[in-house]
Amino acid sequence: MIESVSDGEMVLLKQGSGPQSLDRSKVMSVSVKGKDHRRRNVVIGLGVGAAAGAGSGAAFVGRYSCGFHCYGSGAIVLGGGVVESLLGAAVGAISPTGWRKIYQ
């Protein structure tokens, strides 16, 4: 937690060990943690992944199969949507979120 900032140095308050001073030239950046948007990012990843997977599954069926009237083409489209929605959700879950730079 930042306690105070002066022209030459930045004083940080570190829990447990008391205040510590750092030379300002050694500080590259300072970020603060805001509201976490991980759940929102997972939902967006699910939606984007499902749409992309269904689209790529449909393109695969249209090009390499006997068309949408064939048995199993719906399963290919659905499978593509499920697989890519899970990948999209994973990307959304690991995306860095909520950090804002206040000094650089």
Predicted pLDDT of residue 102 = 77
What's the one-letter identity of residue 11? Answer: V
Residues 68 and 54 in one domain: yes
Domain hosting 15: range is 2-32
Q: How many residues does the chain have?
A: 104
Prediction pTM value: 0.59
**Please, which residues have CB within 8 angstroms of residue 60's CB and are 6 or more apart in sequence?**
76, 80
Residue 32 backbone dihedrals phi, psi, to 5 degrees = -115, 145
- 3-state class of 10 per DSSP? strand
| Residue 17 is assigned to a structural domain of this protein | yes
- 3-state class of 63 per DSSP? helix
Predicted pLDDT of residue 64 = 66
| Residue 56 is assigned to a structural domain of this protein | yes
Mean pLDDT by 10 residues, the chain (104 residues): 67 69 76 84 92 85 64 77 90 84 78
The candidate with the shortest Cα–Cα distance to 43, out of 93, 99, 102, 96, is 93
| Residue 70 is assigned to a structural domain of this protein | yes
Predicted pLDDT of residue 3 = 66
Residues 43 and 65 in one domain: yes
Residues 25 and 43 in one domain: no
| Residue 27 is assigned to a structural domain of this protein | yes
Predicted pLDDT of residue 87 = 92
